[in-house]
Amino acid sequence: MGQWITKILDKIGSPELDWIQVEISTRCNAACIYCPQPLLHKKQNMGFKLFKQLIPYLGYTDLVYLQGWGEPLLNPDIFDMIQVCKARGKRVGFTTNGMLLNAETICRLVDLETDILGVSLAGTSPSTHNRIRMGTDLVKIIGNLEQLQQIKAQKGSLYPALHLAYLMWASNFHELKEVVRLAKKLGADQIVCSNMTLIMKETLCQEAVFTQQEKQPYFISLLEAVAQEARKENLIFAYKSPVLGNESVHCSENICNACVVSVTGEISPCVFTSPTLSQTDGQKPLVHIFQNRTSPCYPLSFGNIGQESLTRIWNKKEYRQFRKFYDIAMTKFVMDPQPVPKSCMSCYNSIMAGSIGGLRA
């Protein structure tokens, strides 16, 4: 009786989240040259049984985003996961590399009324995109997205809304000039441009646009021009600033109103603190480059959904204390600031100048 009452209270007291990001796979069919996924010690899918343990505690969550450090379509349970979320009235989306979007998969996503389909790009020409996102083929991806358009039209459906997720590099920045044209051609609703904030190799530091200070006026000017073009085409165009700010407590990962569930069920504030990025079985943690120094990826978990409810994990004292550091309303009145959490000390997301335009979701 006591356990039953506890479960009911946990459901009633579920956290109010803008979104919850669920890593349903750490497997991938690509080998992007900047991604930590190939370095992961163990690559696996989240089981449907574990996923379902989240569902009762999503009463006040707007969006369930099935995304982590792998390719979501490699999890055969993805359609059941979407269906169970939609049955609860949740909006559902995920980001894919686009290579597995065949007719059957597209039809199932359309029939399930999947809300958002994000597709990752690293250029608008095949030579650039394929060089950065190795193992993918932009020509094939565009063909798949044209098929998505056709199937949506045949079924008279607006779902899923297509979002193009463009990774900004110094060497592909000029190709942003073509991204609105491509989005319009493919029937996309939104374009989101992001920085490479997790730098896994020293040789890639020069590709991070925020390290190219002499080029930043050009970067900003081009982004503003593309934003203006997008507005004329009635497209949402959102981008992360290519400029580093001063150290601050303003993290772009929406720490106070969202969380991430790793493929094994661990709850973390964001994908950059996910235990997925730590090696297991006695291996050393992954390392990345921050301000020309090598730094370990510090995993951070406040609990596992296989052992505790999301409500209890969210309301733990240590998790509340962590979020308090990033709560702008609270920090205004804090006379004695807390030290930056260890997991965030070497993260570019905490010192980016901010986001401009619409939201991913």
pLDDT tens readout for residues 244-284: 765 555 677 888 899 999 999 999 999 998 988 875 555 66
pTM listed for this prediction = 0.90
Q: 316 or 1: whose pLDDT is higher?
A: 316
Please state, in angstroms and as integers, the Cα–Cα distance from residue 142 to each residue in 17, 61, 107, 285, following that order: 33, 32, 17, 37
Indicate whether 2 pLDDT > 90: no
| pLDDT value, residue 16 | 87
Identify the pLDDT of residue 361. Answer: 39
Closest alpha carbon to 76 in 60, 111, 41, 100: 100
Q: What is the pLDDT of residue 357?
A: 55
Q: Is the pLDDT of residue 66 over 70?
A: yes
Q: How far apart are CA 313 and CA 357, in angstroms?
A: 32
Span 75-107, pLDDT tens digits:
999 999 999 999 999 999 999 999 999 999 999
pLDDT digit string (tens) for 114-140? 999 999 999 999 999 999 999 999 999
Predicted confidence (pLDDT) per residue in 178-237, tens digit: 999 999 999 999 999 999 999 999 999 999 998 888 999 999 999 999 999 999 999 999
> How many residues are given for the chain?
361
Contact 251, 271 (CB under 8 A): no
Q: Is the pLDDT of residue 351 over 80?
A: no
Rounded CA-CA distance 196/297 in Å is 15
Task: Answer with the residue of higher pLDDT: 215 or 3.
Answer: 215
Distance CA 191, CA 182 (A): 10
Query: DSSP of 217-263, one letter per residue?
Result: HHHHHHHHHHHHHHHHTT-EEEEE-SSB--S-S--TT-TTTEEEE-T
Per-residue pLDDT for 26 more than 90?
Answer: yes
Rounded distance between C-alpha atoms, residue 75 and residue 78, angstroms: 6
Q: What's the pLDDT score for residue 287?
A: 87
pLDDT, tens digit, 9 for 90 and up, residues 139-190: 999 999 999 999 999 999 999 999 999 999 999 999 999 999 999 999 999 9
Which tops the pLDDT comparison, 113 or 241? 113
pLDDT band at 15 (very low <50, low <70, confident <90, very high): confident
Rounded distance between C-alpha atoms, residue 342 and residue 335, angstroms: 21
Contact 311, 11 (CB under 8 A): yes
Question: For residue 3, what pLDDT is reported?
Answer: 52
